[in-house]
Structure 1
Amino acid sequence: MRLFASIGTIAAVFLAVYACQSTEPAPVKRVLVFSLTKGFHHASIKEGNAFFMRLGTQHGFVADTTTDAGIFTTDNLKTYSAVVWLNTTGDVLNPAQQAAFEKYIQAGGGYVGIHAATDTEFDWPWYNKLAGAYFVSHPHIQTAKIITLNKTFPATSFLPDSFYHKDEFYDFKSVNTSGLQFLIRVDEKSYQGGKMGDFHPLAWYHEYDGGRAFYSNFGHMPETFSDTMLTQHFWQGLQWSMKE
């Protein structure tokens, strides 16, 4: 009888441990939304932060919004599945913070650049390669024809072949043409002031230095972050970039 009681007790303990393990919630994913500006400050940052916080609520992750570059440490960044550079401008990180972000990407981290993220860190060549290009100029805000180049990628799979959109269309320099997978372009014949010629990309993705990077030129206008099509574009790009 004692033997059977002992076996029963052991089994009960194992079942209790298993029950605790099986009901333990999975870790909540976190996304860092970074919007420090040392140059032009976009009014749309407010709407962008609110959008990413709503997105987290809808899709089960926590979006931490900040302008504090001090959060860029190795230990802090480890807690994030992706880092969104939301309309950042200028020299926003010091050398130690840059090194921490490089380690984060090299460990499989995700990067999402929104609009002015390419108007950032012009003296950091590694960042140029990660973001894919640098901003050089733009004409006045106007409506132009957008052409979808790749419908196999989640962030553009649902877009029409072409559509019209009003925004601030960047001209780029130092474009990493050998490594980027281009997603959309703007037709320079449809608006005034473009300086890149027949092939003028606006969004792209690539795997770089161990991590994943997605960039979109959309995001200058506050209303961008309530546009159903473009918010889906951002979400799918973010989801692709998020490390497991």
Structure 2
Amino acid sequence: MSRSRFSAMLAIMLAGALTSQAMAQTGNPGGPINDNLGEMDYGVCRGLDPKCYHDWPRAPTTKYRILIYSRTGASRHANLGHVLPAGLNPPLGPDNVAQAGMIRMAHEQGWDVDWTEDVTQMASLNGYNAVIFLSTSREILDDTAKTALRQYMRAGGGFVAIHNAFGTNYTWPYYEGMLGGANFYDHLPAREGDVVIVDDKDASTKGLPKRFHYRDEWYNLVPFPTHVRFLATTDEKSWATPPKVGGDAKSIAATMGEPGAILPDYLVHPRYPSVVGHHPGHGDFHPVAWCQYYDGGKVWATTLGHDTRTYQPHGMPGADEFQAMLIGGIKSVMGAAPFCQ
């Protein structure tokens, strides 16, 4: 074959590949605005094909054990309370509401549970049926922990992302892929609205009402999640009018529904007024929970979980439904219930 003919064939193949890639990004739920939010190739097998799960030989599970990781590197949600001291299972105070709520749920299910904000405790994860990132923020893993998490997933591990886990590890593309190829972009102040179950066959949504009232920050996501099974959305038309935000750090935190939260200075004192466009939201399809296989493991993710009361029994409207979703999602990544079906 001549060099010119080979070059022409190669050009045609590349053009076809690029066309296929562009076509793969269209038709996202929620309308064409989401078609242009990008779709990175994370270099792993991910999506809804069980072939992406490494069902390797393993010892039979006699007792489920989960790890709750709530380390924060910037802003810290008020429901996490004070920063936990180093080590595994440090004592909790009355303000560590989210951690205590997760521990209570685990004990009610008969699971063993560890909790930590010490990155050195993330060096060995293979003893856990599920690793849960609970409203972590920013860069909270060192190289050793990143390697351990990646190897854990490749061995068929289970990962659960809750709320500000989407505002974490921005500089690590592998982690963004774990979240469904999605990431936190922004949100308005916390307000009430409705969660809508769009897939009631999953272990995390089965038996829940089709719609329930809830209060959250309703994260906007860029990129928009792809190759996942969407489980729940929020109806943007149901949202209450957001309160106006202004004042000092304490009043801003209170208005955002985070009294006692630690806010970074760039949120309190922006250098200049913004001159760029505002995220318009996701319109008719605003996902808040989904699942996928990822690089050998299983992932269940939700952007919900902002309000302190959501971790308490009957703490607020929708709290019990949120906790039921969460327990079902954890069960599914652990193998205690069908996953992403």
TM-score bracket, normalised by the shorter chain, equals 0.7 to 0.9
CA–CA separation in structure 1 for the residues paired with 2:237 and 2:107: 40
2:229 is the counterpart of 1:181:
yes
SS in 2 for 1:101: helix
The CA deviation at 1:27 is 4.2
The code of the aligned residue for 1:241 comes to V
SS in 2 for 1:33: strand
The code of the aligned residue for 1:170 comes to Y
CA deviation vs aligned residue, 1:40-74 (integer Å, no higher than 9, x gap): 1112122221122112222222111100111122x
Counterpart of 2:306 in structure 1 is 220
Counterpart of 2:284 in structure 1 is 198
1:105-116 correspondence to structure 2 within 5 Å: 105-116=153-164
SS in 2 for 1:184: strand
2:150 is the counterpart of 1:58:
no
SS in 2 for 1:28: coil
The code of the aligned residue for 1:128 comes to E
Counterpart of 1:207 in structure 2 is 293
1:124-143 correspondence to structure 2 within 5 Å: 124-132=172-180, 133-143=182-192
Normalising by structure 1, we get a TM-score of 0.84
SS in 2 for 1:44: helix
The code of the aligned residue for 1:175 comes to F
Segments of 5+ residues of structure 1 without an aligned counterpart are 1-25
1:99-110 correspondence to structure 2 within 5 Å: 99-110=147-158
The code of the aligned residue for 1:78 comes to N
Counterpart of 2:205 in structure 1 is 156
- Look at both structures and tell me which one has the larger radius of gyration over its CA atoms: 1
Segments of 5+ residues of structure 2 without an aligned counterpart are 1-60, 81-95, 243-279, 313-318, 337-341
CA–CA separation in structure 1 for the residues paired with 2:223 and 2:139: 17
Q: Would you say the 8 A contact 1:86–1:116 is kept in 2?
A: yes
Residue 48 (structure 1) aligned to one of 98, 116, 138: 98
CA–CA separation in structure 2 for the residues paired with 1:220 and 1:92: 19
Counterpart of 2:329 in structure 1 is 237
CA–CA separation in structure 1 for the residues paired with 2:122 and 2:335: 17
The code of the aligned residue for 1:218 comes to L
The code of the aligned residue for 2:288 comes to L
The code of the aligned residue for 1:59 comes to Q
The CA deviation at 1:198 is 1.9
Counterpart of 1:8 in structure 2 is none
CA–CA separation in structure 1 for the residues paired with 2:196 and 2:282: 15
CA–CA separation in structure 1 for the residues paired with 2:63 and 2:205: 27
CA–CA separation in structure 2 for the residues paired with 1:243 and 1:100: 20
| Higher share in strand | 1
CA–CA separation in structure 2 for the residues paired with 1:111 and 1:44: 21
Report the number of matched residues. 216
Q: Would you say the 8 A contact 1:91–1:120 is kept in 2?
A: yes
Runs of 4+ displaced beyond 4 Å: none
| Higher share in helix | 1
CA deviation vs aligned residue, 1:155-202 (integer Å, no higher than 9, x gap): 11122122221111100112331x211011111222257612221101
Identity %: 31
Q: Would you say the 8 A contact 1:44–1:219 is kept in 2?
A: no
CA–CA separation in structure 1 for the residues paired with 2:76 and 2:236: 26
Q: 1:59 to 1:164 in 2, by over 3 A?
A: closer
Residue 166 (structure 2) aligned to one of 93, 118, 122: 118
Counterpart of 2:339 in structure 1 is none
Counterpart of 1:20 in structure 2 is none
Counterpart of 1:19 in structure 2 is none
Q: Would you say the 8 A contact 1:82–1:243 is kept in 2?
A: no
Normalising by structure 2, we get a TM-score of 0.61
